[in-house]
């Protein structure tokens, strides 16, 4: 762009956002400059505060403003049940469902040797230490039902082989409100195998 180095730099910087290319970055920059300068200033402050202030919780590895996050510090959350998720957005989805009252451990990824992500990078040792120190009785492996997520779940379960802990995995089946005709074959097979008596 010839007319303004400040606008150029803004467009270029916006491209670090995921899914934002040149055209979208331009549209965002012009929108902020034309119609949302106060929003732009607020975003600038929020970004600088978050980039400086947000760290990992010492206990569960989730993003946190403090050394230990709000969920880990909450005495009402049972430490006996620990749910392992891949990312903060997975944790958020479970929290928004509102039913689970145990604590979490956020891997911030999954095992993926091809990308150089091994057990060390996703904090498996820290997870195992926590499982022992918190006297966890049930470990829910809520990694995603993808190849990498399944491999990560199996790796963790192998590492805990021989312990007394109950290790569980989330149920597969038909989504609530889903229509049978649109459900894929693997999910249907899981749903059939996991069928339950009506009066359970």
- In the complex with a second copy, the residue whose CB is nearer, 86 or 139, is 86
105 within 8 A of 61, measured Cβ to Cβ: yes
Token pair recorded at residue 139: 């470990």
Q: Is 62 in the site for a second copy (CB under 8 A)?
A: yes
* Selected binder of a second copy within 75, 85, 86, 92 (CB under 8 A): 92
Bridge partners for 138 per DSSP: 81, 166
100 within 8 A of 41, measured Cβ to Cβ: no
In angstroms, the CA 38 to CA 128 distance is 46
Looking only at residues 34 through 53 of this chain, which bind a second copy when binding is defined by CB under 8 A? Answer: 34, 36-37, 39-53
* Selected binder of a second copy within 58, 67, 95, 115 (CB under 8 A): 95
- In the complex with a second copy, the residue whose CB is nearer, 66 or 163, is 66
Q: How many CB atoms lie within 10 A of CB 38?
A: 8
Binding site for a second copy (CB under 8 A): 1-7, 9-10, 12-14, 16-19, 24, 26-34, 36-37, 39-54, 57, 62-65, 69-71, 87-89, 91-92, 95, 108
């Amino acid at each position: 762009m010839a007319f303004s180095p400040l606008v150029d730099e803004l467009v270029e910087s916006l491209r670090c956002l995921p899914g934002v290319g040149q055209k979208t970055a331009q549209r965002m920059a012009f929108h902020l400059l034309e119609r949302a300068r106060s929003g732009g200033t607020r975003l600038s402050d929020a970004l600088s505060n978050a980039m400086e202030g947000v760290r990992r919780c010492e206990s569960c590895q989730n993003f946190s403003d403090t050394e230990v996050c709000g969920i880990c510090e909450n005495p009402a959350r049972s430490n006996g049940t620990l749910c392992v998720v891949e990312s903060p957005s997975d944790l958020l989805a479970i929290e928004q469902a509102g039913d689970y009252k145990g604590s979490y451990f956020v891997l911030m990824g999954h095992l993926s040797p091809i990308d150089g992500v091994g057990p060390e990078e996703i904090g498996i040792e820290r997870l195992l230490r926590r499982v022992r120190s918190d006297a966890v009785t049930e470990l829910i492996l809520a990694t995603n039902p993808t190849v990498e997520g399944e491999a990560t779940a199996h790796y963790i379960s192998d590492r805990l082989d021989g312990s007394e802990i109950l290790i569980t995995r989330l149920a597969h089946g038909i989504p609530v409100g889903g229509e049978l005709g649109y459900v894929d074959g693997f999910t249907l097979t899981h749903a059939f195998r996991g069928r339950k008596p009506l009066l359970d």
